[in-house]
Chains A and B, each alone.
Chain A
Amino acid sequence: MNQIATSAAPPLPTATEKLKFYGMWVTAAIVLVLLPHVLGSGGSLTTFSLIGISIIFSLSYNILLGQTGLLSFGHAVYYGLGGFLVIHAINIIGANKLPIPLPVIPLIGGLTGLFFAALLGWVSTQRSGTAFAMISLGVAELIASSALILRSFFGGEAGVSANRTRLFKLFGLGFGPQIQIYYLVAAWTLIAVIAMYALTRTPLGRMCNAVRDNPERVQFVGYNPHVVRYLAFCFAGFFAGIAGALAAINFEIANSAYLGAAQSGTVLFAAYIGGIGFFIGPIVGAIFVTILSLGLSDLTQVWQLYFGLIFIAVVLFAPGGITGLLMMHRPLVKAGTLQQVLPSYLEALMPTLAMLAGLVLAVETIVHYTVNPGDDSHIKAFGVSFDAASPYIWAMSAVLLVGGFLVARKSWGRVGEAWDKAGAVPREEDITA
């Protein structure tokens, strides 16, 4: 009884808690401002812009998956439509010399996303669970295929392009150089992240969680789960539209790939790998996935295969994602028993890394023989050169793979034992995360 009473009316935050909360956002803003001064090369500015866009997109996706429990396979529709509308808007505004500066343009993308989410969402959100997933996939295919038919609007395979520098210049900002685009993206990212965080704190955000956990009970309380799902869907569409608009401004082009299944899959990967159970999860996932996809493609030909394998590994072994894994240790840190599990981690890490090295070696060797069989057999992957034709390499990859797997299985069992012991302390002291 006591518990219900306290959870219904949480105590007002103390001054230190408030300071901590607002300090976090101020720190984030300062970091965003200082980032280009620390790592200011052209390439990293582009990377930061992409990460910012990806953060907004992943967080908007998590309004659906993490907060409302709606697994969507077609979230890129609202991202892409936002992008297309913004490109057309820039062209129209530029041609008519309307006094609308670039910084407010992403709002057009957001409203586009909102409009289409409101239009398509009512039918989609009638069902939840697996049916919703399939419907979102069908609607996404419908829009993506239509985009190839309506050529004059979507520009066919080539897409539509625009020139962002021809717009009305506010304070002399032309938005030609990447640094200005970075600050535009950073500002919008901060605004969108704060807005989406605020959304989770509203009664609507709470009802979304309730609909995710127990829709039947929500009905008993007097809410319509369909309406709650629909509202969440509209908000997700709005923020996805903003992300799409920023992407369109960044690249100055929108094409049918923006709307496609691959884009929807990427945002799902990012949100899930980061962890859908925490607000910060998709942010971590967006950073991780963007850097991974940019970095891996330099290191190996078949980076998408590794990408898919990482995703499967997360689904299998860490359903809470990266943040879920880290947050799992909070009770241990609080109880001071973290050092009990760390040695077992080190012990398990060695054979696991050996197994992964064996796997990578095997994959790269196979790739050499199937993708480019005629080439020189001395190949380079992940910065390491080796001879794919050598039987030693084959033997080594087999030994690493099988041996690593056997030892790793045993040592992960030991990690479990260490966890049981270390986790018992916070449980006894009644410390939760």
Chain B
Amino acid sequence: MLELIVISTLNGILFGMLLFLMASGLTVIFSMLGVLNFAHASFYMLGAFFGFQISRWFGFWPALLTAPLLAGAIGVAVERFGLRPVHRNGHVAELLFTFGLAFVIEEIVQIIWGKSPVDFRIPSSLDFPAFTIFSTNYPAYKMFMLLVSVAIFAGLLIVLKKTRIGLIVQAALTHPHMVAHLGHNVGRIFMLVFGVGTALAAVAGVIAGPALVTQSNMAGLLGPILFVVVVVGGLGSLPGAFVASLLIGLIQTFAVSMNGSLSGAFGPLSPAYATTWLADIWSVTIAQIAPIVPYVLLVLVLIFRPMGLLGTRDT
């Protein structure tokens, strides 16, 4: 039991930090540009596939560096040539543009790399157990993932709190119009923020690619959870996104490792009901409902705190 708790906590924090790598970019982009980037998870997928291709040609370490840069460059281009012209048609048009973009990116990835998972392996220098805890070998690569995401988190914190550009971004989180009035080159800041945000998502993709499955549907699987994170945390709130990322990471990881069901707790259903739909609910395990847990959380948060956990801004 203790073993399960320790391992699940580690995995949960790891998944939560990965989510936050993406949610942070999404939140900052939303706060500054006012547009929720529907294609954010697609940049995570692009990061994974670029990482796979580059690591095949030059090895994993160059991939870790160049794949996010590439994805970030694409992000910059998307902002400059796609979002900026659409901006005058309103936020719905912007959201729809990113929706279409997500659709097209998935199609392009399918055309280039196919629909089946690609063979993106953990680099051999990290392919060993880091430590053994209660007879379970914890892989070093997962520790590396945790390290990278924590390092980026710390780096982001320093940039946001200590640098001039961070100051502007922070100001734009709460008073986007004021920042523009103060005479900053808002266009260039937008482009930069969009580029950095998408590059962060791509970093998450490169480091998660070998550990999870690198496949053309990975954006579609992760995207909705990412949006749950930003809505549960409160749209436009960075601390909220952090709390929600860890919360959802932990809840989902714990749910996956639990095997309890109603029939396990209260005994089997009487045979009279065995063929009805009640039997499904009765016998489903917590592990099986793990995929829907974030959405249940979303609905609950919306009922009791419509602004999100730490949100203050109405859209």
Task: Give chain A's interface residues, CB within 8 Å of chain B.
Answer: 65, 69, 71, 73, 123-124, 126-131, 133-135, 137-139, 141-142, 145-146, 149-153, 261, 265, 268, 272, 302, 304-305, 307-309, 311-312, 315-316, 319, 366-367, 370-371
Contacts and interface: CB of A to CB of B under 8 A. Distances in A.
Contacts of A370: 111-114
Task: List the 7 closest A-B pairs by CB distance, nearest first.
Answer: A142-B295, A308-B104, A129-B315, A305-B107, A308-B103, A312-B100, A138-B298
A260 B281 CA distance: 21
B280 A152 contact: yes
* Tier of interface size on chain B: 35 or more
B286 to A, nearest CB: 12
A316 B85 contact: yes
B5 interface: no
Nearest to A301: B111
Nearest to B94: A315
A315 B302 CA distance: 30
Contact of A261 (B91, B114, B220): B220
Interface of B: 30, 35-36, 82, 85-86, 89, 91-93, 95-97, 99-101, 103-104, 107-108, 111-114, 220, 224, 227-228, 230-231, 235, 275-277, 279-281, 284, 288-289, 291-292, 294-296, 298-299, 302-303, 306, 314-315
Given A149-B292, A152-B279, A138 B299 contact: yes
A304 B277 contact: no
A315 B220 contact: no
Given A135-B231, A138-B298, A153 B111 contact: no
Given A135-B298, A137-B224, A138-B227, A366 B97 contact: no
B108 A305 contact: yes
B224 A312 contact: no
A315 B93 contact: yes
Given A302-B111, A370-B111, A146 B292 contact: yes
Contact of A137 (B107, B227, B277, B289): B227
Contacts of B108: 305
Given A73-B99, A135-B298, A315-B100, 5 more contacts: A126-B302, A131-B235, A135-B302, A138-B298, A151-B280
Given A138-B227, A138-B299, A71 B280 contact: no
A149 B36 contact: no
Contacts of B92: 65, 69, 71
A153 B296 contact: no
Contacts of B111: 302, 305, 366-367, 370-371
A130 B299 contact: no
A267 to B, nearest CB: 13
A94 to B, nearest CB: 19
